[in-house]
Structure 1
Amino acid sequence: MTNSLLRGPSGSLASSASSPSTSGRYPAVITRARATPRGLGVSGPAALLACNVACSGRPAARRVASVVTRSIADGHDAERLKDCDVLQLETFLQAIRERNQGPSQAPGEVFLVGTGPGDPGLLTLRAAQLMATADVVLYDRLVSDEILQLVGPSARMVYVGKTAGYHTRRQEEIHELLLAFAEAGALVVRLKGGDPYVFGRGGEEVGYLAAHGIRVHCVPGITAAAGICAELGIPLTHRGVATSARFLTGHSREGGEEALDEAVALAADPHTTLIVYMGLSNLAKLASQLVGAGLDPATPAVAVERGTTPGRRVVYGSVAELHELAGRAGLRTPTLIMIGEVVALSHGWQGWAAAGRPLEWNEASSYPALKLSLQLDMGAVGGKVGAAGVEGEGKKRARRGAGSRSGEEQAGLVGAA
């Protein structure tokens, strides 16, 4: 165990103890506040950070050197590798409030931004623009390090990731953080893996903020089902084979088990492609329910860990045997499961079968290296495209009362897949 101290303006201490996480990307961090938020001399989002997980997402000290080059783009401050501490956050919020003071002072706006399944080449242009111009970025565990490189160097980053059995912050606390940042006048970007409205709890965050008078915009992302199926060559629908596709969560909220069981039973349709998110831990039960509801045990299936990323791992098999195969391979979350006859149409399945059905078969589409720099002025929606810097909602708002940011912060998309 490693211990770190977070000192508030009053000299009070909040102690955090961290240990390696067995299921997340970063060490789990549990903070024990030795004083109340008032005792720490902070309030609002800073108090939430102090009393919950002030440094969550920050790798252990011995790992920092190896992570910085992959996680931080040129110009970023390595000290804010994954999160800002309480003092940095309070100073930042005060600067935002002062920047926005004036007769026309208004609350900031929040953008829920989907980052897709992991490959930075699958980001939307609007997502890249907002990441480059944000004041503060709250991001999930499923947002890859390569994508985080596109966050502007001046942005403050707050990790709010969740994994099974461990949440750095409860959903209610995330709501309060978003609201506090927006009320200070910041341009807030909430990064989510995949699409915010596909098992991303985006609707809950929109509802909470809208009820408090905050404007919220959603930027869609390529959901994991679409991105990973495309990578593996699996059509979600195919004439004569699959007439529909169904997205299903593999776990339910407390008290919702019966409704989930009913949904699984309805999904046992040989003409439907079933895509299961967050279902690895319940795969044995899921397969048993599907077969019990009439699905052929030999139905082709595949489990894909970290699809569209360099860490992709793929396990093919029948629906009846997939749980045992995935266990032998040691697959971990995030893993997407696809079940249906369309799986057998892919080159991956066919290559796997021809090779004697090995435990893992990671053959997939290989995209050309991403070398792209864009500076487009799209104007208003439906406007003409011109040759100018990218400047949209986020850029214009960030300039209010503070002048333009430096040219290096212009929103562009530059990266390598």
Structure 2
Amino acid sequence: MIFMNFSNFIPEHMERRGKIVLEENLRIIERVLEQRSVPEEGIKEELIELLLTKLSLMDTDKDPRAIRIGEREARVWSKLQERSVFYFNHGVGRSGNLIDPQPKAPGASIMYKLTNQLLTSFLKKLGLKVKAFATPVATGLSLSLCLSALRRKYGIREVIYPFAGHKSPIKAISLAGLRMRLVETKIFGDTVKAPVEDIEKAIKKDRCAVLSTLTFFPPREEDLVEIAKLCEEEGVPHIVNGAYAIQNNFYLDKLKKALKYRVDAIVSSTDKNLFTPIGGGIIYSKDEKFLKEISLSYPGRASANPIVNTLISLLAIGFKRYKELMKEQKESKELLDKLLTELAEEKNEKLLEVKNPIASAITTKKDPIELAGKLYNLRVTGPRGVRKDDKFGTSYLGVYKYNYIVINASIGVRRDDIYKVVEKLREVI
């Protein structure tokens, strides 16, 4: 990487031995830069820190001889602030394009490009033949970037939205300056779905797009592959909200099938899938040109922080460990279903029969909102109580059959927590 002269400090044989260790460690970083693929084995944090430090030292605000007279020169008051963005003070992107190199930030530009290449390789290893880039905003705003790109490219005016009970996509549609046409859901057994034939009726071939959803709270499901087929047949653009789709093969398999038809872009969250702090997204697509169009939707530069967090996760976890985490998540969900089934039989309740690889739902004769509150006071975070007449919360524009509590078993959950949450639920249900 950078030559350093250690001559005549210590005996030559010791110097040689030390260089072997140094070169071996530096080689790990060099391999990442050469291969530009997510590593199989996770990398030690001190080496990730070394890589990020070296890249940040390339930015012009680190030049000790620079004459900085612009209005935006990365003048940062506190070292705490600098550390919060890993010294990438200039951020990423340019005013015209989020993923364009930034002249004042060569190091940050390399860091961002590397992150996107690692993301693409990561998704490819998971079986998705797509290109990807990390966004400095979470799922809702990332969806808005995609919809804004569709508006420019195709002149769309309206978004067909099969109702999903998620507020951020609705706000994303509004932020993109588009009208929303809601497709109401219906009950099929325990499942709530928006019928594909109703989506077809809502489609106007001229200037509309579909925003579908892949990942839900129970009892909602969606026929993603059928929607992708419909969009291809009708020539209608199609964006998929796959907030936590990457962590489970059930969702990945649906994406693979849908990508054979019309899917313009998919959005996922970094915090839900890659263990980052909240604030980052992933946008991926078969169409690299459309990804470029999406990047043009972002106004101005962006903070490097969410991008750095994505890169750190990819390097620190490694692909092999991520696959193990996916396996553990599947096992945790199976354990959750087993324990909730036993609890349902014990309390004369029911585990809802819904195809969801992340979350489960159990009925309750008590007020589910009060139960969720009691669980919160018992230091349980995450359960979601939904009343059957809550039109938004049930993802059904009417009255559902049951009150219920949703429990998640997403990636990273501990088996011990699965046992504990069911025990706490047993106390209050």
Larger relative contact order (Cα-Cα within 8 Å, sequence gap ≥ 6): 2
More strand by share: 1
TM-score by length of 2: 0.28
Q: Which has the larger radius of gyration?
A: 2
TM-score by length of 1: 0.29
